[in-house]
């Protein structure tokens, strides 16, 4: 069977080839302009699935990074606060030694010591009520306005405050005020009150040094614990930064095109299209008059 090829068929076939070449030029232009390897899911279904998974991991890593940053800030604030508390208690101890070695004191000297002790207690209470943002660092999950008051003691904290920094890793960011400063009659605040009471009663305050040493040891122990957790939060920060870089490289490998390669492909497609135009023009150039000559 002989198939007849007409001029109309030739023109239609040539037009289809030109349209196909033009479409490839348009696609290459889009890729070179956006540098995206996947413009729509149908371009690369497998790559699209991999891209979605990487972006999901990136979103999780971004949230973990924010959590780690918050943990570092919270624990750094707590560490600094405990350092201030240690400094205050050290001043209280030094002042207690002075008062104990002052012998018989007159009312003026006694009042001066009392004033200094009360000022130092106020400083210690201020450190105990330190906040990170809107949360008291020593109040745990409690939303009370103050972590500690003389009347109510420590605010009730039912649960610890943690920050998730990995799929299976959390870091506690709050610190027990009761553990750091003591509670009730065994607290650092009560120890200062007893020193003031002894001074006002004319009692030697030297025995109160043991209470202060216990309070100082508690603060230092709490600060050491915070230091360990702070170091863990900093390590989590570094790990997440490395993971973020790795995930971005994976995403770029799937979604992004190399600029030089995209431009070269565009030039090839344009050259091919121009050649197709020239060839088609030559093929379709003869007319009926050319055949009648």
Which of 119-123, 150-154, 273-277, 282-286 is the most confident on average? 119-123
Average pLDDT over residues 185-199: 93
Q: Is the dihedral of CA 149, 151, 153, 154 positive or negative?
A: negative
Residue bearing the bigger pLDDT, 261 or 214: 214
Say if residue 198's pLDDT is above 80: yes
Cα separation of 124 and 188, whole Å? 9
Least confidently predicted of 8-17, 40-49, 79-88:
8-17
Average pLDDT over residues 3-26: 65
Which of 14-23, 60-69, 201-210 is predicted least confidently?
14-23
Residue 4's pLDDT is 62
* Residue 291 scores a pLDDT above 60: no
Residue 112 pLDDT greater than 80, yes or no: yes
pTM: 0.76
For the chain, the DSSP string reads -PPP--HHHHHHHHHHHHHHHHHHHHHHHHHHHH-BS-SSGGG-HHHHHHHHHHHHHHHHHHHHHHHHHHHHHHHHHHHHHHHHHHHHHHHHHHHHHHHHTS-S--HHHHHHHHHHHHHHHHHHHHHHT-EETTEETTSTT---S-SEETTTEEPP--S--EEEEETTEEEE----HHHHH--GGGSHHHHHHHHHHHHHHT---GGGHHHHHHHHHHHHHHHHHHHHHHHHHHHHHHHHHHHHHHHHHHHHHHHB--HHHHHHHHHHHHHHHHHHHHHHHHHT---HHHHH-
222/216 Cα distance (integer angstroms):
10
Residue 175 pLDDT level (bands cut at 50, 70, 90): very high
Residue 284 to residue 167: CA distance in whole angstroms: 66
What does the pLDDT read at residue 254?
A: 79
CATH T-level fold of 53-251: f41 fragment of flagellin, N-terminal domain (1.20.1330)
Query: In the predicted model, what is the mean pLDDT of the chain?
Result: 83
pLDDT of residue 266: 57
**Closest C-alpha to 157, from 146, 165, 170:** 146
In the structure, what pLDDT confidence band is assigned to residue 102 with cuts at 50, 70 and 90? Answer: confident
Answer with the residue of higher pLDDT: 104 or 213.
213
Across the range 23-52, mean pLDDT stands at: 70
The yes-or-no verdict on residue 1 having pLDDT over 60 is no
Q: pLDDT for 139-160, tens place per residue?
A: 888 888 888 888 888 888 778 8
pLDDT above 70: percentage of residues in the chain? 73
**Region 275-283: what's the mean pLDDT?**
66
Q: In this predicted model, what pLDDT tens digit does every residue of 217-269 receive, in sequence order?
A: 999 999 999 999 999 999 999 999 999 999 988 887 777 665 555 555 656 66
């Amino acid at each position: 069977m002989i198939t007849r090829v007409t001029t109309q068929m030739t023109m239609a076939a040539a037009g289809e080839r030109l349209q196909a070449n033009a479409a490839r030029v348009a696609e290459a232009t889009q890729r070179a302009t956006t540098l995206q390897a996947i413009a729509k899911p149908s371009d690369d279904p497998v790559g699209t699935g991999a891209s979605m998974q990487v972006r999901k991991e990136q979103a999780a890593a971004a949230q973990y990074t924010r959590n780690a940053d918050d943990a570092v800030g919270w624990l750094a604030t707590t560490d600094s606060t405990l350092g201030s508390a240690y400094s205050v208690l050290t001043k209280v101890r030094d002042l207690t030694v002075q008062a104990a070695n002052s012998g018989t004191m007159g009312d003026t000297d006694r009042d001066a010591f009392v004033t200094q002790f009360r000022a130092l207690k106020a400083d210690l209470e201020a450190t105990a009520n330190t906040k990170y943002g809107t949360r008291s660092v020593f109040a745990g999950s409690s939303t009370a306005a103050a972590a500690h008051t003389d009347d109510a003691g420590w605010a009730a904290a039912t649960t610890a405050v943690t920050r998730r920094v990995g799929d299976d890793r959390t870091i506690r960011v709050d610190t027990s005020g009761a553990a750091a400063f003591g509670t009730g009659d065994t607290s650092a605040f009560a120890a200062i009150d007893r020193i003031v009471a002894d001074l006002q009663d004319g009692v030697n305050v030297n025995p109160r040094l043991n209470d202060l040493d216990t309070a100082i040891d508690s603060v230092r122990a709490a600060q050491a614990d915070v230091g360990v957790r702070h170091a863990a939060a900093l390590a989590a920060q570094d790990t997440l930064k490395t993971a973020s870089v790795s995930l971005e490289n994976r995403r770029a490998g799937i979604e992004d095109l190399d600029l030089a390669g995209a431009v070269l492909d565009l030039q090839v497609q344009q050259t091919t299209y121009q050649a197709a135009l020239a060839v088609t023009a030559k093929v379709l150039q003869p007319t009926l008059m050319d055949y009648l000559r």
